[in-house]
């Protein structure tokens, strides 16, 4: 699962794993567990480049170890090596517009990249990232106005996978 922060990768990833009868894993959770700190704490203490290096290793490990549904952090696709690792995988890009993003995240401090001027930052972030999400995706699923269950069904349809 890839897409911007707050789009529902973690929520839909878990529902999708249940529907498919496979395991679920989330690289942000892996990082928090391994580091014993929140993502926000790592950003503040170490800065984004260090977080990205930690994240890259976490994605590599998760892809090697895990065969079910994997949710990535929204910025993981910024790394070219990570994008290369995603080649050959089924990759669902969950998309949304900025107003949906406001509703989903509440633009709160838990997401450090949106802490100052959230709407502007979100638009800039998407300008920098949209083509990368599209590059790695094998399926694009719009989430605007859809419940997590509806998004999950749309993802299943888009992947043309049968339920377990």
Ligand X SMILES: Nc1ncnc2c1ncn2[C@@H]1O[C@H](COP(=O)(O)OP(=O)(O)O)[C@@H](O)[C@H]1O
Ligand Y SMILES: O=C(O)C1=C[C@@H](OP(=O)(O)O)[C@@H](O)[C@H](O)C1
Binding residues for ATP, by number, are 6-11, 111, 146
* Residue 39 binding partner per list ligand Y, ligand X, Mg ion, none, with a CB distance cut-off of 5 to 8 Å that depends on partner kind: ligand Y
Within 8 A by CB and 6+ apart from 92, the residues are: 1, 2, 16, 137, 138, 139, 140, 141, 155, 158, 159
Residues 31-90 interacting with Mg ion (rule: CB under 5 A): none
Rounded to a whole number of angstroms, the minimum distance from the CB of residue 30 to Mg ion is 11
Angstrom distance (rounded) from CA 12 to CA 96: 14
Q: Which of 30, 51, 143, 154 binds ligand X (CB under 6 A)?
A: 143
Report the interface residues with ligand Y, using CB under 6 A. 5-6, 9-10, 28, 39, 73-75, 111-113
Distance CA 160, CA 53 (A): 33
Of the two residues 109 and 160, which places its CB atom closer to Mg ion in the complex? 109
H helices of 21-79, in order, are: 27-35, 39-46, 48-65
State the minimum distance, in angstroms, from the CB of residue 68 to ligand Y. 17
Say whether 142 sits in a helix, a strand or coil.
strand
Is residue 56 a contact residue for ligand X (CB under 6 A)? no
- Residue 7 or 54: the one with the smaller Cβ distance to ligand X is 7
What is the enclosing helix (H) or strand (E) of 69? strand 69-71
Binding-site ranges for ligand X (CB under 6 A): 3, 5-11, 71, 104, 143, 146-148, 151
């Amino acid at each position: 699962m890839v897409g911007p922060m707050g789009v529902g990768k973690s929520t839909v990833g878990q529902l999708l794993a249940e529907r498919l009868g496979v395991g679920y894993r989330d690289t942000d959770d892996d990082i928090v567990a391994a580091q014993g700190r929140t993502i926000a704490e790592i950003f503040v203490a170490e800065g984004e480049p260090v977080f990205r290096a930690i994240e890259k290793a976490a994605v590599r490990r998760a892809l090697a170890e895990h065969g079910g549904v994997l949710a990535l952090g929204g910025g993981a696709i910024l790394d070219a090596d990570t994008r290369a690792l995603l080649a050959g995988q089924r990759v669902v890009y969950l998309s949304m517009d900025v107003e949906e993003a406001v509703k989903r995240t509440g633009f709160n401090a838990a997401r450090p990249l949106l802490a100052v001027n959230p709407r502007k930052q979100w638009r800039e972030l998407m300008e920098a990232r949209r083509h990368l999400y599209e590059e790695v995706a094998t399926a694009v699923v719009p989430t605007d106005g859809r419940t997590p269950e509806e998004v999950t069904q749309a993802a299943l349809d888009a992947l043309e996978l049968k339920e377990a």
